[in-house]
Amino acid sequence: MKRRKTGPSGVVAAPLDAHTQVLAKETGLPSVKDGRLRTYEPGDNVARFLDLLGKRISRPLAVSMTACVHCGLCAESCHYFLARPDDPTMTPVWKADQIRKIFKRHIDWTGRIAPWWVKAGSLHDDEDLNRLKNIVFGSCSACRRCTYNCPMGVDTGLLVRFARGVLTELGIVPEGVFNVSRDQWETGNQMAVSEQDYLETLEWMRDEVGAELGDDTVEIPVDKPDCEILYTINPREIKFDPRSIAHAAKIFHLVGESWTMPKWGWDQTNFGLFSGDDKLGAFVARNVYEAAERLRAKRIVISECGHGYRSTRWEGYTWADYEQTRPTESVVITLKRYLEEGRIAVNPARNAEPVTFHDSCNIARSGDIVEEPREVLRRVCADFREMYPNRRENFCCTGGGGLLSMAEYRPLRLEVGKLKADQLRATGAKLVCTMCHNCVDGLSDIIKHYKLPLRVVQVLELVANALVVRGASGT
Amino acid sequence: MSDLLRTLENEVQIGALAFMAVVYTVRLVWIFRFRVRRDRTFPAGREAAGAGYSLMNIAMPGAMESTRKRPGFYTQFVVFHLGVAAAIAGTLIIPYAPGLFESRPAVLAFQAIVAAALFMGLLRLVRRLTNPVLRSVSSPDDYFSLILLLLWFAAAVLALPNRPEEGEGPLILYFGLTAFFLVYVPFSKICHYLYYPFTRYYLGRSLGHRGAFPPAKDERARARRSGESRA
């Protein structure tokens, strides 16, 4: 990569904007009143931060705090640093050290005895906390690429999420993080979709699929008990991309699947992952698990969403202290199974344009799915090509870690997106496929900003597009 | 051999080692005080396999992009730590198995390893002093620990022939520094080897449970094929 001189960004100097927090308090939102959603209160926040730091730290975190040897090998794994190679504050080690030095000063022994010797340091006021907020929310997408590249096994992604969680408890968060958390606490979904909107959109999509197939028996069942599949989605699908629900409904209908969507507990996304708030994480994940329990579904299927998959399949059970009792899988795994079992027929010529695949960080690095989407794409696309690096070494779309909801960090996010833009451009593909709604928006931003001749698609869309409907002349 | 050197090689070393063991025990108790949450999900892989892979990462330079792309750095790491091992071995061989160093080739081999480590250590020091990223995060302890190790390596190269009759200076320096190290290490970055098994174990266990560690046999090759330089 050509090195270019950049001015020292330092850290993005975004002030704490708490006006929606004030509004939430004034309107007496239940989640604020009962203390589930914390708001900023001027006062001794440093003492509260330190108290929470001591109470919440786990063993994997404690050793990640102590084990770093400052070798700097993580630097070149980070898209922030690769895009701003003259700015040491963009390196994972520097960012993690801003958390680590507080741990050293207050919890680790050397830092308590001789802080200057190990560069331990404390926080003094809310300005320091706000600066830490800008570091952990604004200059890291928690993609864990550095974690995979640390010889010591230091999990900087985990450290960043931990610091975010403590700051969230103090209300010292970007406004967007507060707003989305508020919506998820209040409505059970992160885009405040009303039940009426949800149900009407499902009916609309049912009618669309029925019209497309010329089949008035098409259904999008809601709250149907004893089904094979409980299908959960991202609220973005209701608000901005209902076609993805239609694609899933069409495929489920054609294979004769026994499936349902729940009336409550349908949001598989989870802002608790981004804000570091395990309580929110537990609440949202439990909604999904309890919906499956209530409806006696045999399997939970998660639509294409990176952080939603990670939260629902992996983290949520732990946050909620909920023992997993039924398989929980991504819809891409379901699609792969249909293809392997011959339950759907596809014609790859219907996806003739060159397609590349972008691995979502939360699915590839923090999850278990790497080859499956490729196996599906090779069956449904005529020209599938890899981008490099890929799989668990892929770079973040730049929208990870909830950054899409934090407008104040957008200029930096787009600047460091140059790396992703170069990666996409080099493929020569016309379509970039991803199994994550966050990545759809992150990549779309990059494509628009860097004027790339690409369009973002998802696996469901490509499979639906390639479907050969037996007995029908069209798709 | 003078009483000073004899005491340094024996009682002082044993005392320093005992001190280190006590401090490490306290440290381990401290680490185990932090809780670990149990994973409540169905596994997609084997935790033991993941942890094993993660712990063996140290011997797999191809496993991480960061070491794969920088073979020189990995070589430095290996030589430097071999030097540490050789210098530690020297502190045990000289007082307890001096016969081993009666063989000139054995002494030369040890000296060569430690001298190479000294050279690599100097490169590391230069890197730490000149690289803005490292300068931004380095603490006095980072510099002090490295410089102290360089001095220790130099003393080891001189002392390993074990000829007190030709002058005890190098041996006194070598064993004196060793004793200081044993006392200082638990409080410095050098004790990273105590934490290494923990960080790698917990990371490996978690990613092993999820099926991410160890990666499929050819996953890394496919991830980087023809693309190493593009990004």
**Per-residue confidence (pLDDT) for residue B225, from 0 to 100:** 56
Asked if B67's CB is within 8 angstroms of A151's CB, the reply is yes
Write the ipTM: 0.94
A93–B133 CB contact, under 8 Å: yes
Q: Work out how many CB contacts closer than 8 A connect A with B.
A: 201
DSSP string for residues in A134-175: HHHHHS-----HHHHT-TT---HHHHHHHHHHHHHHTT-S-H
What CATH number does residue B171 fall under?
A: 1.20.950.20
Instruction: Give B60's contacts (C-beta < 8 A, 6+ positions apart).
Output: none
Q: What is the mean pLDDT of residues A230-244?
A: 97
Query: Would residue B156 count as lying in a domain?
Result: yes
pLDDT(B226) > 70: no
The verdict on a CB contact (< 8 Å) between A59 and B70 is no
* B227 within domain boundaries: no
* Stretch A10-16: mean pLDDT: 82
Would you say residue A10 has pLDDT above 70?
no
Q: What pLDDT is stored for residue A3 in this prediction?
A: 42
Q: Is A13 exposed, middle or buried (CB count within 10 Å of its CB: 0-12, 13-18, 19+)?
A: exposed
Instruction: Please tell me which residue of chain A has the smallest CA distance to B213.
Output: A368
Tens digit of each residue's pLDDT (9 = 90 or more) over A391-416: 999 999 999 999 999 999 999 999 99
Give the pLDDT confidence of A132-158 residue by residue, as tens digits. Answer: 999 999 999 999 999 999 999 999 999
pLDDT tens for each residue of A211-227: 999 999 999 999 999 99
Indicate the length of chain B as a whole number: 231
Residue B224 has its nearest CB partner, among A64, A88, A389, at A389
Helix (H) or strand (E) holding B198: helix B192-209
- Does the residue B229 lie in any domain? no
pLDDT (tens digit, 9 = 90+) per residue, A193-204? 999 999 999 999
How far is Cα A327 from Cα B110, in angstroms, rounded to an integer?
Answer: 57
The CA distances from residue B42 to A305, A323, A327, A359, A369, in Å, are 20, 9, 8, 23, 15
pLDDT attached to residue B217: 72
pLDDT at B230 over 50: no
Chain B partners within 8 Å of A62 (Cβ)? 31, 34
Find the closest chain A residue to B29 by CA distance: A59
Angle between helices A243-255 and A331-340 (to 10 degrees): 30
Q: What is the mean pLDDT of residues A30-55?
A: 96
CB contact under 8 A, B202 and A60: yes
Question: How far, in whole angstroms, is CA B91 from its chain's centroid?
Answer: 16
Q: What tens digit of pLDDT does each residue of B85-138 get?
A: 999 999 999 999 999 999 999 999 999 999 999 999 999 999 999 999 999 999
Query: Over 80: is that where the pLDDT of A246 sits?
Result: yes
Nearest CA in chain B to A390: B223
Q: Is B39 domain-assigned? A: no
Return the pLDDT at A8: 54
Rounded CA separation A235/A133 (Å): 27
- Looking at this protein, which amino acid is placed at residue A279? K
B195–A63 C-beta distance less than 8 A: yes
**Spatial separation of the C-alpha atoms in residues A128 and A11, rounded to whole Å:** 12
- Check A392 against B192: CB less than 8 A apart: no
Residue intervals of chain A classified under CATH 3.40.50 are 348-466
Range of the domain at B205: 3-34+44-216
Mean pLDDT throughout A450-458? Answer: 98
Q: What residues of A are in contact with residue B133 (Cβ under 8 Å)? A: 72, 75, 81, 88, 91, 93-94
Query: Which chain A residues have a beta carbon less than 8 Å from that of B132?
Result: 86, 88
pLDDT grade, residue A2 (50/70/90)?
very low
Q: What is the mean pLDDT of chain A?
A: 95
CATH class assigned to A348-466:
alpha beta
Structure confidence at residue B1 (pLDDT): 83
Q: Which of A168, A159, A147 lies closest to A49, judged by CA?
A: A168
Quick one: which of B146, B144, B204, B186 has its CA closest to B31?
B186
Q: Biggest alpha carbon distance in chain A?
A: 78
SS3 A233: strand
pLDDT-derived band at B149, boundaries 50, 70, 90: very high
Closest Cα of chain B to A370: distance in Å?
9
Q: Do A93 and B137 touch (CB under 8 A)?
A: yes
Answer with the residue of higher pLDDT: A237 or A368: A237
Q: How sure is the predictor about B220, in pLDDT bands with cuts at 50, 70 and 90?
A: low
| A:388-417 residues touching chain B, CB 8 A cutoff | 388-395
CB contact under 8 A, A324 and B42: yes
Residue range A286-303, pLDDT digits in tens: 999 999 999 999 999 999
Residue B231: predicted pLDDT: 33
pLDDT > 70 fraction of chain A, expressed in percent and rounded: 97
pLDDT at residue A355, as a whole number = 98
Q: Which CATH number fits domain A19-173: 1.10.1060, 3.10.20, 3.40.50, 1.10.3470?
A: 1.10.1060
Does a structural domain hold residue B189? Answer: yes
Structural domains in chain B (count): 1
Residue B222 clears pLDDT 90, i.e. is over it: no
State mean pLDDT over A250-257. 98
* Ordered DSSP codes for A346-368: B-GGGS-S-EEEE--HHHHTSSS
Mean pLDDT, range A358-375, rounded to an integer: 96
CB B207 within 8 A of CB B43: no
Q: What is the pLDDT of residue A335?
A: 98
**Residue A7 CB coordination number (10 Å):** 8
C-beta atoms of B192 and A152 within 8 A: yes
For the cut 90, the answer to whether the pLDDT of residue A234 exceeds it is: yes
* A72: contact with B, CB 8 A cutoff: yes
For residues B60-84, average pLDDT: 95
Distance CA A205, CA A211 (A): 10
How many percent of chain B have pLDDT more than 70? 94
**Model-level pTM?**
0.95
Mean predicted confidence (pLDDT) in A229-235 = 98
CB contact under 8 Å between B196 and A152, yes or no, is yes
Give the residue on A whose Cα is nearest the Cα of B41: A324
pLDDT of residue A306: 97
Q: What is the pLDDT of residues A167-203, one digit of tens each?
A: 999 999 999 999 999 999 999 999 999 999 999 999 9
pLDDT at B41 over 70: yes
Alpha carbon A381 to its chain's center: 26
